[in-house]
Amino acid sequence: MGRRVVITGAGLVTPLGTGTDKTWAGLIEGKSGLGPITRFDATEYSCRIAGEVTDFNPTDWIAKKDLRKMDLFIHFGIAASEMAIKQAGLIATEENASRIGVMVGSGIGGLIAIQNQAWLVKERGPRRISPFFIPSALINLISGHLAINHGFKGPNHAVVTACATGTHAIGDAANMIRNGVADAMVAGGAEAAICELGIGGFASARALSTRNDDPQGASRPWDKGRDGFVEAEGAGVVVLESLESAQARGAEIIAEVLGYGMSGDAHHITAPEPSGAGAAACMTNALKDAKVNPEQIQYINAHGTSTPLGDVIETKAVKSVLGDAANKVMVSSTKSMIGHLLGAAGGVEAIFTAMALQKGIIPPTINLDDPDPECDLDYVPHTAREVDIEYALSNSFGFGGTNATLVLKRFS
C-alpha cells in the first residue's frame, strides 16, 4: 500500500472564475461559465461558443517582464499552482527541496503560440520568430518554471495524455509519494487552446456542440439534446503530500488520495470502446488499488463530456463496475457548467471531488432537461445536493483510448 497521500492545497482557474472559492461558489449555484467566443472572430466557424476565462490577470502571479516567455496555458498553470502552494503553505528549504517535485501537464500545450508563430514566419519570414517561442510552447515548462521559482529539486515531470492528463498527473504524483520517491508533489493540468486552430480542429472532427444560440445550455451531459462538448480553458492543480509530511507541518488536509487506476481501450483514436470495457477496467483498477468495494462509492465526478457516444458508454461502464450499487450512486458532470478543459479537466474535477468530500456538497449536472433513456443514473440534475460522503471517484478518458480514475476519501 505504501504511504498515505493527502491533498493539502488546491488551485483553480476556470470559466467560472479565477480562484478556488469563486469557481466552487459558481459550481454549487449551478451557474454556467460558457459564452460566445471573444478570443478571435469565430463568425465563419461552425462552433462559435467556448468556456473562456474572463477575469484572469496573469501579473497577479507572474512578473510582467516574464509574460512573453510563456504561452497562456503556462500562465494558467502557474497561477493555479501558486494558489495550491500558498494554501498548503509548502516552502522548500535546504533540507527538503530534493523531496518536493512538480508534475503539471497539458493535453495540447502551447497551441496559441505555435499557431501565431507559424503565421508570423509565413507572413514576415524566419527572422521574426521569437527566441522565447519554443520554451513558451513546451508542455513541461509549467513544471520547469515552478521548480525554478520555488527551488523544488525533486521529480520534475509533465504528463501528456489528452483529456486524461490532469488525472494521470495526480495519480502518478501520488504514486511517487506512496513509493517514497518524494514527500510532496505539485500536480495537475492546464490548457489554453481556444484559438482558430483549436476550435477549428475539434469542430472539423465534429466533436463540438454547435448550439451557438444558447451557449449556457450547450453542454448538457446525458440529455437527449446533447450534440458535443464545449471547449474550455483554465487549470486545476493540487499539492499532494505524504500524511506524515502534512501532519508534521500542521497543514490542513482537504481529502485523501486512496487509489489510482489506468487502462487503455485499444480501440480507436477518438471514439471510446463501445461496451465501456476500457473505462470499466480503469475504475475497477482504481478500486482495487484503494482496497474499496464498489458499493462503498457514493459519488462519481464523471468524465461526462456531453457527446452522444461518450455519455452512454460511461453510464454502461459505471453500471458494469458498481452493479446494483449503481442505482444508489450520485453521478454529476461539472462540465455542464465549465465545459471541457481538455488536459486541465482531470485536475479541476479532482479538486471538485475533493471539495465535495470535504464540504458535504455534491455539485449538480445542469441542462439535464430531457434525459436520454440510455442514461438512467442519478446525475444530480439542476441543483447541488447536501450529502455527507466518504468515498468518491473522479473519471477522465482521453483520445487514443487512455483512461484514468482516482479514488478519493474524506480525510479522518
Residue type, 381: P
| Given the residues 75, 150, 157, 340, the one annotated as active site | 340
Q: What are the grid coordinates assigned to 322, written together?
A: 458498481
Query: Is there a catalytic annotation at residue 375?
Result: no
Q: DSSP string of 346-377? A: HHHHHHHHHHHHHHTEEPPB-S-SSB-TT--S
Residue pair 49/227 in contact (Cβ under 8 Å)? The answer is no
Give Cβ neighbours of residue 7 (< 8 Å, ≥ 6 apart). 238, 239, 240, 253, 254, 255, 256, 257, 354, 408
234 vs 347: CA distance, rounded Å: 10
Q: What are the grid coordinates assigned to 393, written together?
A: 471517484
Cβ atoms within 10 Å of 287's Cβ, excluding its own: 23
| Given the residues 75, 145, 163, 375, the one annotated as active site | 163
Query: Is there a catalytic annotation at residue 340?
Result: yes
Residue pair 306/230 in contact (Cβ under 8 Å)? The answer is yes
Q: What are phi and psi of 315, to 5 degrees?
A: -60, -45
| Cα 174 to chain centroid, rounded | 16
Cβ atoms within 10 Å of 132's Cβ, excluding its own: 15
Q: What are phi and psi of 106, to 5 degrees?
A: -155, 150
Q: What are the grid coordinates assigned to 27, written together?
A: 459550481
Q: What is the dihedral of CA 251, 253, 259, 260, to 10 degrees?
A: -70
Query: Is there a catalytic annotation at residue 150?
Result: no
Q: What are phi and psi of 218, to 5 degrees?
A: -80, -35
26 vs 334: CA distance, rounded Å: 11
Q: What angle do CA 217, 223, 226 make, to 5 degrees?
A: 60
| Given the residues 157, 195, 303, 375, the one annotated as active site | 303
Where do the H-state alpha helices sit in 107-164? 111-124, 133-137, 141-150
253 vs 235: CA distance, rounded Å: 21
Q: DSSP string of 88-113? A: HT----TTTGGGEEEEEE-SS-SHHH
Question: Would you name the residues annotated as active-site residues?
Answer: 163, 303, 340
